[in-house]
Chains A and B, each alone.
Chain A
């Protein structure tokens, strides 16, 4: 129940959206994030979109860490 699942918005109709979870499609509520658009990457929780996910942010964070950690490699604290 408390599981948040990431998916991609396929289409919007009134207060609902069809979201694709790697092949499985579900109609979910958009009341909490009404400005979603097709193509948006979102987190769905118990049948409702609760947040948008930013792929850009995700990739920036991980590459920053990768660089920093590689630079730190072998260096003591």
Chain B
């Protein structure tokens, strides 16, 4: 069997020779920016857990000049679900005798008192699914009620919306919607005076749905360069280089470096499904507060599958952030995991205190696994 297209692309986008060429160019550009603009630090934020994984796993921070600071923004959809919504899912599992279906990432995230994993150990019927298709199949095989805990950014929303729009939800199944939108979160961050940024790396897979065009406001309204990019190490290096080129030229634009998967308009069909089934609502993000028009709720037409209406659950009090935990600052890019006094002390992947230490896309979990902090090893000068 020959080489698959997947391995051919991966090989090209992990090629050390081209990585070195890009790094040389980045070093040149940084020198110019430091000299011309007197820049001491260049802050670039990405908003995708998978980008943080690429950056940390491949040690990209280590090969970049120290002037460049790559910061993780709100890229983990599991980390930002308020404890209240986890409490709702826990309550459904423990008090309403329904089967609760959850993505694996969400399963161990702590609510106010417990996670869904804890609820299961207390006898609640909680099962982990890989995708919505699995959830539908598991619901069909269940005699009682089944609830899908629908978390996720724009990438997970359209699949659920497609099943709802096409009337493919089994009669015993309902949905507990905790979806959030990435574009309003980035808008919010760009308005914060204490989070000064020089450029944005837009999330590649979210952009397959939203289209690269969704991020054009960053250049047009905020005057910052923005690059949509993929998840191989060369993708991230190219994005950094593109951002620096634009900073040097003083012409902020939007560049789509991930054109192999992302178009300007995105997946129009997927967007139509989302729009048909969900309405955009103001929503709170864990420990951060309410961000305008940043969440989704089922439209009235679909009340019969809305778990909140079916189970009539009310949670009045909840605890988003445990004392000492700095997850909200880490999510907003105000702090790095190593700035948190709990990181790898009172908060570990085995016994997580905050949500960012649970999901494989949480910045703390990624740093705990691969080490995100700069080391003294560098291939820059070799």
Contact of B12 among A1, A43, A45, A62 (CB under 8 A): A62
Is B155 touching A46 in the complex (CB atoms < 8 A)? Answer: yes
Q: Which of A10-56 contact B (CB under 8 A)?
A: 16, 20-22, 27-29, 31-34, 41, 43, 45-48, 50-55
B245, closest chain A residue (CB): A77
Contacting residues, chain B, for A20 (C-beta < 8 A): 4
Q: Is the CB of A32 within 8 A of B9?
A: no
Query: When A47-B134, A55-B5, A76-B28 are in contact, do A70 and B21 touch as well, CB less than 8 Å?
Result: yes
Closest Cβ of chain B to A64, distance in Å, is: 11
Q: Flag if A65 contacts B248 (CB, 8 Å).
A: no
A6: B residues at CB distance < 8 A: 6, 9
A61 to B259, CA, bound (A): 8
Closest to B102 in A: A1
A48 to chain B, nearest CB (A): 4
- Which of chain B's residues have a CB closer than 8 A to the CB of A34? 269
Select B103's contact among A46, A48, A70, beta carbons within 8 Å: A46
- Report if A46-B131 is in contact (Cβ < 8 Å); known contacts: A1-B104, A32-B273, A58-B13: yes
Chain B residues closer than 8 Å to A51, beta-carbon distance = 205, 208, 261-262, 267
Task: Classify the secondary structure of A's interface with B.
Answer: mixed
State the interface size on chain B (CB cutoff 8 A).
63
Query: How far apart are A35's CB and chain B's nearest CB, in angstroms?
Result: 10
- Tell me what chain B mostly uses at the interface: helix, strand, loop, or mixed: helix
Q: Is B77 part of the contact surface with A, judged by Cβ < 8 Å?
A: yes
User: Could you list which residues of chain A lie within 8 angstroms of chain B, going by C-beta atoms?
Assistant: 1-4, 6-8, 16, 20-22, 27-29, 31-34, 41, 43, 45-48, 50-55, 57-59, 61-62, 65-66, 69-70, 72-73, 76-77
Besides A32-B159, A47-B131, A61-B259, 5 other A-B contacts (C-beta < 8 A): A7-B6, A43-B208, A47-B134, A66-B18, A77-B248
Residues of chain B at the chain A interface (Cβ within 8 Å) = 4-9, 12-13, 15, 18, 21-22, 24-25, 28-29, 31-32, 48-50, 76-78, 103-106, 130-134, 151-153, 155-156, 158-159, 162-163, 166, 204-205, 208-209, 231, 234, 238, 248, 257, 259-262, 267, 269-270, 273, 359-361
